[in-house]
Amino acid sequence: MADAAEGTEPAEETEPEFIELFSGAALSASDAEVITLRSRTHLVVFAGAEGSGKTTVLTSIYEHLNQGTFAGFKFAGSRTLLGFEEICHLNRLVSGGAQPDTQRTRLTDETKYYHLTLSPTEPATARREVLLSAMSGEIFRMARDSREDAERLTFLRRADTIVVLVDGERLATPAQRTSAEADAADILESMLDANMVSQNCRVEIVFSKLDRIAAAGRAALDFGAKTQEKFKSKFGVRVQSLSFRRIAARPAPSSVSDNSDGGLADAFVAWTSLAPSSSMDAQLGQPAPSRDGREFGKFGWRYSERKKRDP
């Protein structure tokens, strides 16, 4: 009682720590935007015709990280584990399939994003946040032809790297070579016409299933080389950073540890390399926000532009 009378201060109540829980499912554009607002996140978009290997490449990256160190990184977490497991299921022995397969990309009302937190093997390097998305070419054709569909894909303008896949299996088939080339060219052209490619975005044309192309012989390899030259001529002026690559990346069943990455490790390093520093971004200038952008973002852009004019 004496202590109470003397005004002893009550013990401080500690607030419980906030625990953030995730459903584990693939993210919508709005959910993905939350991640990009919290930390520097590298967005990689895979685009291509049906069967070109978009989802196969995405699942390959996840499976290689599951097996250990990959491309100088270790798996350090994900908000979309269930989403990854869903698209990887057909490639697993537990699925009961006779051959490994990959779930096809579906044309849905909303594009899905998959998240990875990566810990580099070099101790002095910081962790890296990555978002991956595999999209049908039809989505971009719709965005080109419809303003409403283009506005639905506004978040894609944040992409740091866009990978357009040319189906190597079709290139290996004489009757389908021309259409495989045309599909990839049409997809990239649709993205550019719909203003989906930012000035600082890296675009890479990837010839997938290299093993199929090589097995088809010299004619298929020569056609691939000519296709690359055509893309350089057609898009070199419209895309500031355009590069080319060939990969063969089918993930092995999860019980098999000896799995060549088919050039995927080098590709992943290039796709997720960090963008130029903020000083370089300042020199290039910030693009004006879209008409449907948030008012907060518009205010920030107006303030930045005013400061550049009146320092």
Is 103 a domain residue?
Answer: yes
Lowest-confidence range among 12-21, 29-38, 139-148? Answer: 12-21
The domain in which residue 55 lies consists of 26-276+291-309
The identity of residue 49, as a single letter, is A
Q: What angle do CA 54, 215, 66 make, to 5 degrees?
A: 40
Is 10 a domain residue?
Answer: no
Task: Please list, in sequence order, all residues whose beta carbon lies within 8 angstroms of the beta carbon of residue 6, skipping any fewer than 6 positions away.
Answer: none
Whichever domain contains 245, its CATH number is 3.40.50.300
Is 282 a domain residue?
Answer: no
pLDDT digits (tens, 9 = 90+) for 41-78: 999 999 998 888 898 899 899 999 988 999 999 999 99
pTM above 0.95, yes or no: no
Is 16 a domain residue?
Answer: no
Radius of gyration of the chain (CA): 23
DSSP 144-181: HH-HHHHHHTGGGGG-SEEEEEE-HHHHTSGGGHHHHH
User: Burial of 120 by CB count in 10 Å (0-12 exposed, 13-18 middle, 19+ buried)?
Assistant: middle
What 3-state DSSP class applies to 118?
A: strand
Which stretch, 156-160, 201-205, 214-218, has highest mean pLDDT?
Answer: 201-205
Quote the DSSP letter at residue 23: -
Task: Please list, in sequence order, all residues whose beta carbon lies within 8 angstroms of the beta carbon of residue 69, skipping any fewer than 6 positions away.
Answer: 121
Is 160 a domain residue?
Answer: yes
Helix ranges (H only) for 26-80 are 29-38, 54-67
The closest alpha carbon to 264, from 67, 98, 126, 110, belongs to 67
Is 218 a domain residue?
Answer: yes
Is 11 a domain residue?
Answer: no
Number of domains in the chain: 1
Is 52 a domain residue?
Answer: yes
pLDDT digits (tens, 9 = 90+) for 161-192: 999 999 999 999 999 999 999 999 999 998 89
Return mean pLDDT, the chain. 78
